[in-house]
Structure formats: structure tokens, C-alpha cells
Amino acid sequence: MSPLIPCPKCQTRLTDGNVNLPGLSPCPVCGTELQIEVFPALFRKVAPVQSAQPVMVEGESSCFFHPQKKAVVPCAGCGRFLCALCDCDFAGEHFCPACLEAGKSKGKIKNLDNQRTRYDSIALALALVPILIFYFTLITAPMTLFVVIRYWNSPRGLVQRSRIRFVLAGILALLQIAGWTALFIAIYTRHH
Amino acid sequence: MSGPTYTRLTRERVPRQFTFSAVSAARSSLWLGDDHLLLVDRNGYTETYKRFYFRDIQAFIIRATKTRMTWNWILGIPAGLCLMFVIFLAFDVRGFDAGAITIICIVAAICGIPLFFNNLFGTTCACQIRTAVQTEELPSLCRLRQTRKVLDKIRPLVATAQGQLSPEEASSKMMEAALAEAAKPPVVWK
């Protein structure tokens, strides 16, 4: 990507004058008020990708995946030796592609986790929304309890870690079940 | 194993493309991690995370928008009309209609309170973050004052990871880049 930043409105590449100023300044073409804060990474030259070196000396450690290439680093996940081509530098640690993929799919590497399902919100919605049409709670209350129990230990959101929604959903579901039970008992006793 | 800890930078906001959809479940918020910013996009019952590491952040681009003015018109016209009606009814020679005035005052409050807060929060803006491979909108940074506060928190962290650039230094480097780009031969598609 070019270090020249385009104006978000007219896409004109801004060449000077508008960057790292304390306040807003107009785009020279469209006049949109802009404030642009740039950092040294914008002007950093991208280092060329290092190619894997062949094994030169007999007995030298070689890459697990490319036996003819020289090993440069062990994988932080499985400990296999990796050449420069197989080395995936991630957040200061070195992984082989297989461990990186496994870390992502199994959620072992937290920083690769990019999506989560909020089962606690699902449980709470399942407990709350059917209250509007109360008859539905006969079905949804047990469903809510199932979701709460089944997903109690599942990973919650990255930024909100409390189980309060699960607790609320569970309490509501139990109350709904208790209400239905009391109703059925009352009907049963009235008929007998 | 406990994950990284995050500090909230912004409250959840509806992304701009969903501003007028009242039932939208889409929400976006910004969090500060140990070595990165975390953009959380919540859509119903799933959360999507985007991480911007301090060492990779190239720029923040803030653009002043006219959203505040638009909302001022949308809310101000009914509020003004209600106020006129109230004055008209209060001085009506046929009598004082307390019921009508109460209803109009409620409508005026419904429009007037958001109008007040819209102006209290200040100028609206749109903020983008740029890295080497992407330019992402940060929907939760939608007020200039709040965006600057957040930037004041982030700036030292990015400067620790990358170093600092003065306005003069940045301008001269951008000029150099512009000259280098101008010197490149044009791409001819055959």
C-alpha cells in the first residue's frame, strides 16, 4: 500500500500539510475537514521474505517439512524444527502452519480467535422473549435450561467474561417451569 | 489459561450503515488490549473480533461528518413546531387547553431531549484505522471529542511500539513518498 493517505471522501491522495496536526484541516480538493495521525509504520519498508537455506553441512538440523532445507527455529506448539519458509512468526512466537491452523480451529491461541457465539445471550433471549406470549414458555423454559447447562463452560465473549446472563436465564427458566408445574398441580387437584 | 485483559475504550454503537434501522442488532465497540486494539462487532448472538497491533498501526484518519446537523434538523423541526403550538395554545383567546399543551409538551420533550444530547456530545465524525493491509472503519468512534480522547490514550502506546513522528517529519516523508510515486513510470495495460 502506498504511504500516501487518500481523503476518505474524494479519494485524493494527500501529500502534505494535513498530517499529525492537533486539529482538523480541510482536504485541499473537496474541503472535507480531516485530522490524520500517522505513525512510523506508514513509512516502514517491507522486508523481503526470507528464503529457506539448503542444508550445507552433513548432520545439520533440517526442517521437518522440507528435509533438504536448514532448520532455523523450533515450533512453539509441537517442537518440530522449521525452515524459514515454514516458520510463522505470530505475536513473538514461532509456529508451524499445522500448529497455527490447529490453534485457530481449537481456540488454543487466544489471539487467533476471531469469532465467538454468545450462548449466554441466546439463553437469556430464550428465557425473556417468549414471556410476551406466555404459552411458549412451556417449551422454551426447558430449552433455556438445556442451553444454560450445555454451554455453561463454553468460552464466553473475549471482553465480557461474567456468567450473569446464564444465571439470569437459568433463574427465569426455573421460575417459568415452577409456574407451569404449579398450574398443572392446581388443575389436577381441582379435577380430582 | 486466562486470555488477554481488555479495557473498554468506547461504548457499543450502531454502525453507520445501520443508523436508521431501529431493530438492528449490530453493535460495535473498541477495547484496549496489552499490545493491540480490539474491535468487537456484535451481530445478534455472535461476536467478531479484529485486532490492530500497535506495531502495525499506520494511521488514524478522522473525518468530520454532518450527522449532527442532520439530526438537528430531524429533531429540531418537530421540537420547534411543538414549541410554537404550545405558545399558540397558551395565549389562545378561546381558553387554555391543558390537555393539548401536555401532549404537545411530551412530543417536544421526545424530540428536545435527544436534540440536547446530540449537541452536548459535540461534532460527529467518522474514524478509520489503517494498517499495511487494511483500512477499517471504527464505528464506535463517532464523536470528535471522544475520538480525540481515545487517540490520546492510544498514541503513547503506539509511540512506545513504533517511535514518534513530528508533523514536520511526517510531512517531509509524505512529500518524499509523493515524489517517489510520481517518478514511477505509469502502468500501461495491454
Q: Tell me the shortest Cα–Cα distance from B52 to chain A, in angstroms.
A: 11
Per-residue pLDDT, B147 = 94
Per-residue pLDDT, B1 = 46
Q: Strands A115-117 and B7-8: what pairing? A: unpaired
Report pLDDT digits (tens) over A90-134.
Answer: 777 888 888 888 887 777 777 777 888 889 989 999 999 988 888
Cβ–Cβ contact A16 with B under 8 A: yes
Per-residue pLDDT, A149 = 94
- Contact flag B133-A1 (C-beta cutoff 8 Å): yes
Short-list A91, A121, A172, CA closest to B12: A121
Quick one: B147 exposed, middle or buried, by C-beta within 10 A (0-12, 13-18, 19+)? Answer: buried
Cβ–Cβ contact A5 with B under 8 A: yes
Short-list B29, B17, B57, CA closest to B157: B57
- Contact flag B175-A16 (C-beta cutoff 8 Å): yes
Quick one: B166 exposed, middle or buried, by C-beta within 10 A (0-12, 13-18, 19+)? Answer: exposed
The partner residue sitting opposite B46, judged by closest CB among A21, A41, A115, is A115
Helix (H) / strand (E) containing B30: strand B26-32
- Contact flag B58-A46 (C-beta cutoff 8 Å): no
pLDDT beneath 50, residues of chain A = none
Report pLDDT digits (tens) over A179-188.
Answer: 999 999 999 9
Say yes or no: ipTM exceeds 0.85: no
H helices present in B46-97, as ranges: 67-90
The partner residue sitting opposite A158, judged by closest CB among B49, B61, B163, is B49
pLDDT beneath 70, residues of chain B = 1-3, 16-24, 93, 95-96, 187-188, 190
Q: Tell me the shortest Cα–Cα distance from B82 to chain A, in angstroms.
A: 34
Per-residue pLDDT, B2 = 55
Per-residue pLDDT, B21 = 54
Residues 6 or more apart from B124 whose CB is under 8 A from it? B64, B65, B66, B67, B68, B142, B143, B144
CA distance A123 to A169: 6
Chain B nearest-CA residue for A34: B63
pTM of the model: 0.80
Q: Which three cell numbers stand for residue A133?
A: 406470549
CA distance B157 to B177: 26
Chain B nearest-CA residue for A27: B63
User: By the 8 A CB rule, do B136 and B51 touch?
Assistant: no
The three-class DSSP label of residue B27 is strand
Question: Length of chain A in residues, anyone?
Answer: 192
- Contact flag B63-A19 (C-beta cutoff 8 Å): no
CA distance A96 to A111: 16
CA distance B104 to B24: 29
Which residues in chain A have their CB less than 8 angstroms from residue B42's CB?
Answer: 118
CA distance A176 to B2: 35
Chain B nearest-CA residue for A159: B6
